[in-house]
Amino acid sequence: MDSDMRIWEHPVLGKYEKYEEPKVLHFTLDGKDMTGYEGDSVAAALKAAGVMTHRYTAKNHRPRGIFCAIGRCTDCVMIVNGQPNVRTCITPLEEGMELRTQYGVQTKEEWEAENDEEI
Amino acid sequence: MKRYEVIVIGAGPAGLSAAAEAAKKGMKVAVFDENAGPGGQLFKQIHKFFGSRANNARMRGFKIGRKLLKEAEENGVEVFLNAVVTGIFEEKEVMVRIDDTVHHYKADYIVIATGAAENMVPFKGWDKPGVMGAGASQALMHLQGVRPGRKVLVVGSGNVGLIVAFQICQVGCDLVAVLDAAPRVGGYGVHASKITRTGVPFLTSHTIIEAKGDDHVESAVIAEVDDHFTPIPGTEKEIEVDTVLLAVGLTPMNQLASNAGCRVEYQEQNGRLSPVTIVDEYGETTMSGIYCCGDSAKETAEGASSAMLQGKIAAEHIAADAGYTTEADAEEKAEEYRKTLDQLSGGMFDVKNKGRMDISTTEEGYPISQSLLRHGYITAEELKGFPAASYEADGPHPVIECTQNIPCNPCRDVCPAGLIHVAEDITRIPEIDYSQKCTNCGMCVTNCPGQAIFIVDNDYEPGYATVSLPYEFLPYPEKGDKGKALDRSGTPVCDAEIVSVRTARAMDNTAFLTMKVPAEFADTARFFRKG
Amino acid sequence: MSKIIRKAPTEPFKPQPDDDLIICRCEEITKGEIRRAVHDGLRTVNEIKRWTRAGMGLCQGQTCQRNVQNIIARELGISVADVGMITGRAPVRPVVMEVYANDVVDKEEQR
């Protein structure tokens, strides 16, 4: 859990509020169990867990991840609790969240079923 | 339909300032912001701001944000967060999405303060995970407490790139290099210097050609460019990085202004074109009663500081128009704010001088360091001619390595001994009155937003001098720690020993580090590396 | 108001080595497709948007607009200022269609 991507203490900001008494949140990514902290955005929790690819594009299946981190570029979208195109950088992580890597606007299984080919 | 006298869009520095000021006059004000937290980009800004006291100089951005928010709330401004303004319609109807619902509000006056978006430069693989905006890394580091990556390359050496590059070092990431296609560092030399002396190279006249990697960035291919910014074949180098940060300028977010029918057009400055929302001297657009201020209107020097003043000016005009203040009072106030705004302009980094390559001396006539422009550090030789960089004085005394005209004067304000002088025009280079005695209090060193002041004591011990420097990295070295002193270029030059580490509330998380070095390195040792 | 650009490319379309470069990230439109569109008779950034979909995706051209403008300007040999800007339209941020149906009428509280 203790990820080396976390900044436990910052020379200017000190200790972040969410790390004072960190509350662990459980979520799944494509069915795999993962954890983050309360106060994380979905994108930050994934970044801390070492996940960089949030989705694959519809046309060319190019991997995409965090790009603007403030909800403008819409590159970091994923399927969150069944809803596609959710901007993960501005969506707070919640206990029990189900995240799916987004293929076009679908899950991998949906995409493969519809296009009759494997990714 | 719910009606407000003033609707402000965007809770950043411009919006909050406008809202607070209008509310102070007695107006009913609502602020809508699409983000979960207020403050716009201010809460991502952790460096000490430039400018003068009237511009909150030497205060860190996020603290200015807190102050503004408190001021707005205390004056009865209603701040709506997660409230996305999706359109402005005829007769000042504002459509706002809040959660899963759409709301409509009416306003007598609208202030558009939506800020700017980062420019992006396309190159092969620029859409791979790992390539991101510089602002994105700030959001991750400062709002989320998460590192953007392990090995980082910063593209762009304007002030945003330089500030972010330093912050990358502060959180312990490995900053591999800062590159810029231009032949010189674009932002303040002082920002560049504090990175260079830690040992990070600046690669001017370089560009990124490709971000490589299967599912995410694993390396970057960079190359030197010629005078036309074309990569020179054969100069390509592949460097191992997992993160590429793009800091190549900002563009005003003028979609709402455009949507509301305000005139938005391209204006040229020194061959660069930028979209500008046309406003009068109060910030009113071509649509009566709709104002636009801050970065969403046009690019300014010291964006956030200018934005706050522009917001206040707009509020004065609105309050006068609505009868909450007299026109004479509003004009008097506005004139005062404009004077403070003017302090921020001037000098080689003024927006009107941006992109100019022909400025070779300061306004005082000192030659501008070519090494600073090219490599991100000034040489000891180049520094000699500057008025606040003497090594002749007895005992501890400040050496100010501030050699470009930038709008800033906290060094003057914080010096209790009255040694340091900055002219009324705060872009002037500081001078030192060496007839006054330095108390070695460290206030200038730790409060200089450019971290460009050192206190040097040539005769600390026979054969040894001390150099005191600002330090914002963790962990702090401790007294007795031994290591190497690095020079301005980041090259280890001699052994060094820490003789004191001072912190104080007034130093605001910048430690005052004093290291002992052989006397002959007093004018070159500028950073400490343990071990 | 959309601009009228009376300038056409002076030379026929010639492929360039970086034509496969993605410019519009949302809609995955390449530099080549945008250049091609200019040669197909489209001129302003609004025209290119409607023809190629560059700038029509979720982010509404916030990331690519400047780069699209640059490509058109270079292709036509004109200034970026003459290429025009994407007309700001509501909704300026993505809104799920379902949300539009949840129109709430806030009323002033009676005092």
- Do C57 and A74 count as a contact with CB atoms less than 8 A apart? yes
Find the DSSP H helices in B323-447: 327-344, 370-375, 380-383, 410-414, 443-447
Structure tokens at B320: 């006068």
Structure tokens at C51: 């023809």
Of the ranges A109-118, B453-462, C94-103, the best mean pLDDT one: B453-462
Q: Which of C25, C67, C96, C98 is the best mutation test for A, with the most CBs of A within 10 A?
A: C25
Q: What is the mean pLDDT of residues A115-119?
A: 80
Structure tokens at B100: 């899963």
Buried b (16+ CB within 10 A) or exposed e, B310-346: bbbbbbbbbbbbbebbeeeebbebbeebeebbebbbb
pLDDT at A1: 45
Whether residue B410 has a cis bond before it, omega within 30° of 0 = no
pLDDT at A2: 53
Which residues of B are less than 8 Å from A11 in CB distance?
170, 472-474, 509
Q: Which of C46, C68, C106 is the best mutation test for B, with the most CBs of B within 10 A?
A: C106
Q: To the nearest whole angstrom, how far is the Cα of B34 from the nearest Cα of chain C? A: 9
Of the ranges B78-87, C3-12, C97-106, the best mean pLDDT one: B78-87
Nearest residue in B to A91, CA atom: B36
For residue B102, the tally of other CB atoms under 10 A from its CB is 20
pLDDT: which is higher, A116 or B517: B517
Q: Is the pLDDT of residue A116 over 90?
A: no
Give residue B468's identity as a one-letter amino acid code. Answer: S
Q: Is the pLDDT of residue C83 over 80?
A: yes
Give the pLDDT band (50/70/90) at residue A17: very high
Q: Is the pLDDT of residue C6 over 90?
A: no
Residues 6 or more apart whose CB falls under 8 angstroms from that of B246 comprise B118, B119, B120, B121, B126, B131, B132, B133, B134, B155, B156
Q: To the nearest whole angstrom, how far is the Cα of B119 from the nearest Cα of chain A? A: 11
Q: Compute the half-sphere exposure of residue B154: CA atoms within 13 Å on the CB side of its CA.
A: 34
Average pLDDT for runs of 10 along chain B of length 531: 95 97 97 90 93 91 93 96 95 94 96 94 97 97 97 97 98 97 95 98 97 97 96 98 96 93 85 87 97 91 88 98 97 95 84 81 94 96 92 91 95 95 94 93 97 96 97 98 98 98 97 98 97 89
Domains and CATH numbers, chain C: 22-83 (1.10.10.1100)
pLDDT tens digits for range A64-88: 999 999 988 899 999 999 999 999 9
Instruction: Give the span between the Cα atoms of B268 and A56, in whole angstroms.
Output: 39
Domains and CATH numbers, chain B: 2-117+250-344 (3.50.50.60), 120-246 (3.50.50.60), 377-530 (no CATH)
Domains and CATH numbers, chain A: 20-115 (3.10.20.440)
Q: What is the mean pLDDT of residues A5-32?
A: 96
Say if A10 is an interface residue toward chain C (CB within 8 Å). Answer: no
pLDDT tens digits for range C45-71: 999 999 999 999 988 888 999 999 999
Q: Is C71 helix (H, G, I), strand (E, B) or coil?
A: helix
Whether residue C17 has a cis bond before it, omega within 30° of 0 = no
The whole-model pTM stands at 0.95
- Do B130 and A70 count as a contact with CB atoms less than 8 A apart? no
- Note the Cα B274 to chain centre separation in Å: 20
ipTM of the complex: 0.97
Q: Is the pLDDT of residue C110 over 70?
A: no
State residue B193 phi and psi, 5-degree precision. -60, -35
Nearest residue in B to A40, CA atom: B144
Q: What is the mean pLDDT of residues C70-79?
A: 94
CA angle B293, B328, B312 (to 5 degrees): 25
Size of interface A-B (CB pairs under 8 A): 111
Give the pLDDT band (50/70/90) at residue C1: very low
pLDDT at C108: 66
